[in-house]
Structure 1
Amino acid sequence: MPPDLLIVRTFIVQFFVLRDGDALYLIDTGFVGGRSALRQALVGRGWDALPIRGILLTHGHLDHVRNAPALAAQHSAWIAGPGRDLEHYENRAHYSGLGRIAGVAEWVGRRLLRQPAFRPDRLLKDGDELPIWGGLRVVALPGHTHGHCGYYSAQHRLLFSGDLFATFGLGPQIAPIYLNQDHAEARRSIHRALELPLDGVLPCHADESPPEKQLEYLRGLGQGC
């Protein structure tokens, strides 16, 4: 795994810190406890004195964006995320079918936690290139949410895949239908990810297997889709 990549693990979700020179960038921000986990991880790596310049979001679900507004304010950092998830950031997302189960959970969680609505400084679309960490490309991987995306590093042949799939608990799996805004689209996005030249994948709900093993899991899921 690249030495300028740090995984911040929490009990429910993991997120990522990228070091680019003397600055740090986050991919997602975790859920409850994410800020303290981030502090501990940065101290452990010796990066705690480095500034956080930007936050990239894979999608708008609460367990990924919970800490984004506070961290952005604390560090004077910008936030960028997929434009098609604007309704999530603004606490007004709509779900249909069995996806309403996720919608209810999100609605309750946002109100219990008093999650502030926010608008990212930059709304991203498929194919956008970000001059971070040797270059990151936005890859639209819709289905889990309408705007769900990954971030692809051609330099490292590595995909930060958000909630495209998960590998903890019951093993490799696509999110169940009641957690997706468009389950059929989520399954198609598996194949879109596998079209990339990849040596590894980093999902946000994962066991502790290395990126190369996570890629094997993803390929296995692709065979079943």
Structure 2
Amino acid sequence: MLRDASGLYLIDAGFIGGITQLKRALRQHGWENEPIRGIILTHGHLDHILNVAPLVKETGAWVAAPRLDAEHYAGTPKYTGWSHGAGILEAMGRPLLRFQSFTPDRWIDDGDTLDVWCGLRAVHLPGHTHGHTGWYCETRKLLFTADLFASYGPLSHFPPRILNSCPELMRGSVEKALSLDLQGVLPNHGNAASPEAHLSRLRRLAGRA
């Protein structure tokens, strides 16, 4: 959740229980009366987009999303190879969890920018999905890495092959991310470590790969 003078912006929209957790966090920060202006997506996996449509209906927020994951937002993604297993799980989960398809207000391609917070630039990091995208803030030298890796101290790891639509692209995406001028990173899946600690973990993982 990002906040600037105009309001709040979400990086992805969460999974089961996500809206309840969001409202709890807003109350904890004293932001419950501030408008949610936008939802900025990193990719189309169900655990990141389940709550998009309900939140848009409730808040009127716009949605910016990677163009190459359009089939995910429509609820018709195609999975091949190892990721076919993930596709089966999502196919079962969408009706059970009452997923509502949606069309983004803005389609995002590599290098596109959003004039929110301190400025965000889309960095295409394919591998996890075709459209998987990180968001880079040059002012703060901070990269939101989405699912490029999971950061849990000594248990930090890259996503398992079953979750990656094009695993052959993962190495290049890690190298691309680390080529940026960075002081820290924030992954979607990780513990409450500092951005600097998450960056150190990513560099260690990349060194072992």
Taking structure 1 as the reference length, the TM-score comes to 0.90
Query: Residue 224 of structure 1: CA displacement?
Result: 2.4
Cα contact 1:85–1:145 (8 A) shared by 2: yes
Q: Determine the structure 1 residue equivalent to 2:76.
A: 92
1:80 paired with 2:61, answer: no
CA displacement at 1:170 relative to structure 2: 6.8
The Cα RMSD (Å) is 1.1
Residue 215 of structure 1 aligns to a residue whose secondary structure is helix
Which residue is 1:215 aligned to? 199
1:147 counterpart SS class = coil
Q: In structure 2, what is the equivalent of residue 158 of structure 1? A: 142
The answer to whether 1:133 aligns with 2:120 is no
- Secondary structure of the corresponding residue to residue 205 of structure 1: coil
CA deviation map 1:10-61 (0-9, x unaligned): xxxxxxx110104111110110110010001011001111000100000001
Question: 1:151-209 CA deviation, whole Å, 9 max, x = no partner?
Answer: 00011110111000002397111101111001111222111100000011000110221
Pair 1:143 & 2:154 matched: no
Aligned residue pair count: 209
Paired AA for residue 137 in structure 2: S
Q: Does 1:105 align with 2:89?
A: yes
Q: Using the alignment, how far apart are the partners of 1:168 and 1:113 within structure 2?
A: 27
From 55, 65, 72, give the equivalent of 2:39.
Answer: 55
Which whole-Å CA distance do the structure 2 matches of 1:154 and 1:51 have between them? 25
TM-score scaled to structure 2, two decimals? 0.97
CA contact 1:174–1:187 (8 Å) conserved in 2: no
Larger helix share, 1 or 2 = 2
Letter in 2 for 1:31: F
SS at match of 1:101: helix
Structure 1 segments unaligned to the other structure (5+ residues): 1-16
The reply on whether 1:175 has 2:169 as its aligned counterpart is no
Q: Percent identity?
A: 48
After superposition, the Cα gap between the structure-2 partners of 1:169 and 1:223, relative to the gap in structure 1 and judged at 3 Å, is closer
Q: Distance in 2 between matches of 1:22 and 1:114?
A: 31
Query: Cα deviations across residues 55-106 of structure 1 (Å, max 9, x unaligned)?
Result: 0000001110111111111111100110000000001111111110111111
Is 1:185 aligned to 2:177, yes or no? no
1:65 aligned residue:
49
**After TM superposition, where is structure 1 displaced by more than 6 Å over at least 4 residues in a row?**
none
Q: Identify the residue that residue 4 of structure 1 maps to in structure 2.
A: none
2:186 match? 202
What is the aligned partner in structure 2 of residue 13 from structure 1?
none
